[in-house]
């Protein structure tokens, strides 16, 4: 029996299990006078979720109870279903509860003042409960937000690409091959983020591959084929070969972003940096 067959029946029920959790969350939170609003972010808000999508829950509470609710975030999550384990930092404002059903809930707690107009609030805020129009007001103020790459973001993007390229070389020479593979992965991610920036889409957080591959990817077939083709094992020579394959696409994206931002490409400088390891 393959792993896919082993969990087929459970996976077929994930949407129902997630809906059960949503009902439990709603019943619990709307009965609490200290909860001012709650909404969902991520794929549930954008409408591109599937059966494996989690619940990105955002809870707005009164200022005077915020700290107590933040401290008790794990206990609150246990009210919604059978928790198997938590990903949690005690000092953080969120916790991730993994339920026995194989559904997970990433629950954040906010004060009213924490909600600010943003690209995120424009695109990734599906309101579930908002009797005082707190979230709706911020969403309306966010409608003019449209992502455009800034010069600062561009500078960070290309410098990190260069840095990871150099780390692949250093770490492979030291025999630190998993480290080298991590940096090679970040080079791939940098290209993917560059495709987003060229198309005025906010890229994922560094190293976050969500929706960059698979059915929910916004990349075209040729871009997805490039990503799939940049594969390497623990052989340093193979890693260097993949780096050589990635560089032309980086250069193409770099050129387009320079044009978009009115920046000098500095081709000789870029070639000098790349030439230190290739």
Tell me the per-residue pLDDT of 150-170, one tens digit each, with 9 for 90 and over: 999 999 999 999 999 999 999
Overall average pLDDT of the 73-88 stretch: 97
For residues 7-14, give the mean pLDDT.
92
pLDDT given for residue 119 in this prediction? 86
The closest of 121, 120, 98 to 52, measured between CA atoms, is 98
Answer for the pair 77, 99: CB distance below 8 angstroms, yes or no: no
Residue with the larger pLDDT of the pair 60 and 7? 60
Burial bucket for residue 219 (CB in 10 Å: 0-12, 13-18, 19+)? middle
Segment 243-251 mean pLDDT: 98
What's the pLDDT tens digit per position in 34-54?
A: 999 999 998 887 888 889 999
Residue 2 has pLDDT above 80, yes or no: no
**49-78: average pLDDT:** 96
- Rounded to two decimals, the pTM is 0.87
pLDDT-derived band of residue 1, with 50, 70 and 90 as boundaries? low
Longest dimension (CA), the chain: 64
Predicted pLDDT of residue 49: 85
205: DSSP letter: S
For the chain, what is the mean pLDDT? 95
Mean pLDDT of 140-148: 92
Residue 5 — pLDDT band, cuts 50, 70, 90?
confident
Specify whether the CB–CB gap between 223 and 167 falls below 8 A.
Answer: no
Q: Which residues contact 159 (CB under 8 A, 6 or more apart)?
A: none
Other beta carbons within 10 Å of 84: 12
CB 253 within 8 A of CB 218: no
């Amino acid at each position: 029996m393959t792993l896919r067959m082993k969990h087929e029946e459970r996976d077929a029920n994930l949407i129902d299990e997630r809906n059960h959790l949503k009902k439990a969350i709603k019943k619990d939170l709307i009965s609490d006078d200290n909860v001012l609003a709650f909404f969902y972010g991520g794929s549930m808000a954008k409408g591109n979720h599937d059966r494996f999508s989690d619940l990105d829950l955002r809870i707005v509470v009164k200022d005077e109870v915020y700290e107590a609710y933040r401290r008790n975030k794990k206990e609150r999550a246990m009210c919604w279903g059978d928790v198997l384990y938590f990903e949690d930092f005690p000092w953080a404002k969120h916790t991730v509860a993994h339920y026995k059903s194989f559904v997970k809930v990433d629950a954040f707690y906010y004060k009213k003042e924490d909600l600010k107009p943003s690209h995120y609030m424009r695109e990734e805020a599906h309101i579930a409960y908002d009797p005082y129009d707190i979230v709706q007001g911020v969403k309306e103020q966010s409608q003019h937000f449209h992502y455009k790459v800034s010069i600062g973001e561009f500078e960070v993007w290309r410098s990190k690409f260069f840095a990871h390229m150099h780390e692949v070389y250093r770490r492979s020479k030291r025999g630190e091959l998993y480290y080298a593979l991590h940096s090679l992965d970040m080079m791939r991610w940098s290209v993917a983020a560059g495709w987003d920036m060229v198309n005025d889409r906010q890229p994922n957080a560094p190293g976050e591959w969500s929706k960059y591959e698979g059915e929910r990817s916004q990349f075209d077939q040729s871009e997805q084929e490039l990503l799939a083709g940049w594969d390497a094992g623990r052989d340093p020579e193979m890693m260097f070969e993949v780096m050589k394959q990635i560089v032309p696409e980086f250069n193409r994206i770099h050129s387009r972003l320079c044009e978009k931002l009115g920046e000098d490409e500095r081709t000789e400088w870029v070639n000098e940096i790349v030439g230190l390891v290739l």
